[in-house]
Amino acid sequence: MYIYFARHGQTFWNLENRMQGSINTKLTDEGKRQAFLLGKKLANENISKIYSSPLDRAYNTAKIVGNMLNLNIDRCSKLKEFSFGDWEGMKYEDIRTKFPLQWENWTNRSFKSNIPNGECLTEGMNRIVKTVNEIIKNNNSNTVIVTHGTVIELYIHYLMNTDIKKIVMEKKVTKNGSISKIEVNGQNKKIIYLDYDKHLM
């Protein structure tokens, strides 16, 4: 079987370079177009199931895809984006200015990150890995997971067996509407491709 991680379509806060995290944000018209093109691409992949983060930007992306594939969406609360606490809603440039040490840790020594009122890296990674592996355990056919940049980034680090002390965040963030394909064969998981976006062009 294959797991297809799809990042949600573009939002207004993506355009404004704001940290979204657990806050609900709306898709732009371009984001809706990306979701449509995502659905066209996935229509050729023999998909049987679609899971989605409950946050609107992911769920509305998944609904567009689901309508095209004639599949219902299974909302999963634990697929929501990493919680960025007090950073949520702030522009990235303002985070760097107001929280220089915390931002330095997050982007260079991520395991030491101490985002005010946010998740720590270990908590977030454990939540995401456990949730995705449970989805894999409960399915035996091609499955789509529509979720968020940091969720995908952390699961990819897990697949690559990256030592948690060597994880550097914000370096593997996938593009809006892109697909990352994972082959699952028993206990073995293999990355087929990451951040594929040719369907959006």
* Domain carrying residue 29: 2-200
C-beta atoms surrounding 177 within 10 Å: 23
Choose among 162, 4, 166: nearest CA to 71. 4
| C-alpha span between 168 and 154 (Å, rounded) | 10
Whether the Cβ atoms of residue 85 and residue 118 lie closer than 8 Å to each other: yes
Number of separate domains in the chain = 1
Length of the chain: 201
| Whole-structure pTM value | 0.96
Whether the Cβ atoms of residue 177 and residue 38 lie closer than 8 Å to each other: yes
| Residues 67, 68, 69, 71, Cα dihedral to 10° | 0
Angular region, 44: left φ>0, alpha ψ -120 to 50, beta rest: alpha
Q: What is the pLDDT of residues 127-183, one digit of tens each?
A: 999 999 999 999 999 999 999 999 999 999 999 999 989 999 887 778 999 999 999
pLDDT value, residue 141:
97
Residue position matching structure tokens 């806060």: 13
Q: What is the pLDDT of residues 56-70, one digit of tens each?
A: 999 999 999 999 999
Residue position matching structure tokens 């609107």: 56
Does pLDDT of 85 surpass 90? Answer: yes
CATH number at residue 193: 3.40.50.1240
Which stretches of 68-152 are assigned E, i.e. beta strand? 73-75, 143-147
